[in-house]
Amino acid sequence: MDADTLVNFLLVLFFVLLGGVFAGTEMALVSLRESQVRRMEKAGKHGARIASLAGNPNRFLSTVQIGVTLSGFFSAAYGASTLAPDVEPLLEAAGFGAAAEPVAFIGMTLLVAYLSLVLGELVPKRLAMQSAVGFSRVLAPPLHVLSNLMRPAVWVLSVSTDAVVRLFGGDPRATQESVGLEELRDMVAQSDTLEDESRDILTDVFGARNRSLQEVMRPRTEVAFIDGGLTVAEARELARNGPFSRYPVTGRSPDEVLGFVHIRDLMPGNGTDDTAPVRTIVREILPLPGTNKVMPTLSRMRRLGHHIALVVDEYGGTDGIVTLEDLVEELVGEIYDEYDAGTDHEDSVTVGDGSVDVDGGLILQEFESACGFALPEGQYETVAGFMMDRLGRLPHVGDRVEALGHVLTVTAMDRLRIARIRVTPTPT
């Protein structure tokens, strides 16, 4: 191989690699997430220029395509037509005869095409996808300078592109679709960089987005109310034996909630008359409709400084109560203290002999986590509500309902409430 052939080959390789630089820069800028662009923009002037380029796809795409086109043109110019004559004598000596010329030309064309695909497209784009930020920091500044030098050509291409995009019904100002909630949920589930605990918390946050207070509240049948007619001393004795720090105070019925008292309000020595009715020391309780969602309610209670809220139904009656701790637990899981053991429905799940024994108060999402299958949705929030809906009457111990290859059996009642349910697979 003489010097001219080597120079021609090196020129071809140079222009192929130059095209790869443009292709890699394009892929890096396209692959940047919006959060990455914002971080670089705040990092200084260098990052701000990169963000400016990434935010103007017409500008960087036009510049990249000009660079790719010119690189391809020059690699072709120094490609088959210049290298083939140098290869032709070797093929003639190998016995190709008159076919040496077309074989050399086709062979060099295929070689240049192969190098262009691998070194000029696939490899740089793959590397740029794996390290979009690093490639952008290194390659975007030269592209920024080149786009300024080629501003007239970039402007012509940008105007032409906008016109054609409008012709096809597109928006020239749009960059890329924003990430949807379901896509974000999938990204969290599939991420290898998140720890299991972090992934679980984020998954719970997504689930809490659509969950209402009716699903997370403590129903009125399980709320420890204090009669407003009791004296402070009598209320103190009731609260002393209870596991809670705040108690709703009622008037004539649980539907007439006057407010709530904190256990500190009942302690002697704070200036309160022990013989005074407890209704005289109640604090205001925040009323909220049961249809409110968990996340907005959590934000509102934190903003107002409320730790307990009254959940009311559409008729203004008491549905139950919800605490700030209840809402936080929807995001981070159960928060236990010395009084919590065995008091939550989701704590009351036992497994044995292929069956699962659950509390009737489990909401449908908790039931799915405990039993591995989802019950059909309906006008109910709990597994007990599902059974009453299917039975069409008040249940009794021993009542059975079949659902999705399983049998749900009432094993215990608490007056009119289903206390325990055993879930067993349907015999095959």
Separation CA 340–CA 218 (nearest Å): 14
Q: Which of 23-37, 42-56, 95-109, 249-263 is modeled with the greatest confidence?
A: 249-263
The answer to whether residue 279 scores a pLDDT higher than 60 is: yes
The answer to whether residue 283 scores a pLDDT higher than 80 is: yes
Lowest pLDDT segment from 38-52, 195-209, 288-302: 195-209
The DSSP secondary structure of 331-352, one letter per residue, reads HH-----TTTTTTSGGG--EEE
Helices and strands, number each (H, E), in the chain: 18, 12
The CATH code for residues 211-332 is 3.10.580.10
- pLDDT score, position 182: 67
The answer to whether residue 7 scores a pLDDT higher than 90 is: no
Q: Hey, which CATH number is domain 345-425, 3.20.20.70, 3.40.50.970, 3.30.465.10, 3.30.70.240?
A: 3.30.465.10
Lowest pLDDT segment from 143-157, 202-216, 314-328, 333-347: 333-347
The answer to whether residue 344 scores a pLDDT higher than 60 is: no
% the chain with pLDDT above 90: 20
Structural element, H or E, at residue 88: helix 80-93
Question: What is the reported pTM?
Answer: 0.55
Please, which pLDDT band fits residue 367 given cuts at 50, 70 and 90? confident
* Boundaries of every domain in the chain: 3-167, 179-207, 211-332, 345-425
- pLDDT score, position 341: 47
- pLDDT score, position 410: 92
Separation CA 111–CA 94 (nearest Å): 19
| pLDDT digits 0-9 by tens, 191-246 | 767 777 777 777 777 777 778 888 888 888 889 999 999 999 999 988 888 888 89
